[in-house]
Structure 1
Amino acid sequence: MTKTSGGIPGQKQPGEIYGIPTRVIAIVVIVVLALWFLFANLDRVQIQFWVFTVTAPLWIALAATLLAGFALGWLVKGRRDR
């Protein structure tokens, strides 16, 4: 037996598109755009930190920035939930 939200079976719930939650659709769209942006920037660049300089593909720097932003968002969300 499955738990339902009390709506009519087969009826679209608010916040869904074709039965898929809009949050999932938004996440997929953002991930696809981020990957497209990363792979569109394959040139090698110099990344200067305070003391030293590193030469690496731009996509690595962009991916590191994306992961750092994801981690910060996850940490802030965790503190907000408490």
Structure 2
Amino acid sequence: MTAKTSESGTKAGGKRGGLAGAMTPGRITMLVLAVLALIFIFENTDETEIRLLIPLVTIPLWLALLAMALIGALFGAYFMRRRR
């Protein structure tokens, strides 16, 4: 017995392919939050002093915020991968 196919040629009950299947409400929310975070980061361009254990470093605030966002994303990805 063969599986039924839709007009597009995919098997009935199968996963949707393409962009429509990838854009879930959770992914859209994460994309919007990522864009808002990037806007926030690049709007803060003043210099700031940050103490890295011992040395005092003066860097643009946007660079410090971007570095922390990337570190947070890496930690989140690591722990989500371990949970599966």
Same fold by TM-score greater than 0.5? yes
Q: Which residue of 2 aligns with 1:2?
A: 10
Residue 54, structure 1, aligned to residue 54, structure 2: no
1:79 partner amino acid: R
SS of alignment partner, residue 29 of structure 2: helix
CA RMSD between the two structures: 1.9
Give 1:64's aligned residue: 67
The alpha carbon displacement at 1:67 in A equals 0.5
* Deviation beyond 6 Å, 4+ runs, structure 1: none
Task: Report the structure, 1 or 2, having the larger strand content.
Answer: 1
Q: TM-score, normalised by structure 1?
A: 0.73
Unaligned runs of 5+ in 2: 1-8, 15-22
3-state SS of the aligned residue for 2:48?
strand
Q: Pick the structure with greater CA Rg.
A: 2
Unaligned runs of 5+ in 1: 7-19
State the one-letter code of the partner of 1:59.
Answer: W
**More helix as a share of residues:** 2
Number of aligned residue pairs: 69
Of 74, 77, 80, the match for 2:80: 77
Q: Which residue of 1 aligns with 2:42?
A: 39
Identity %: 40
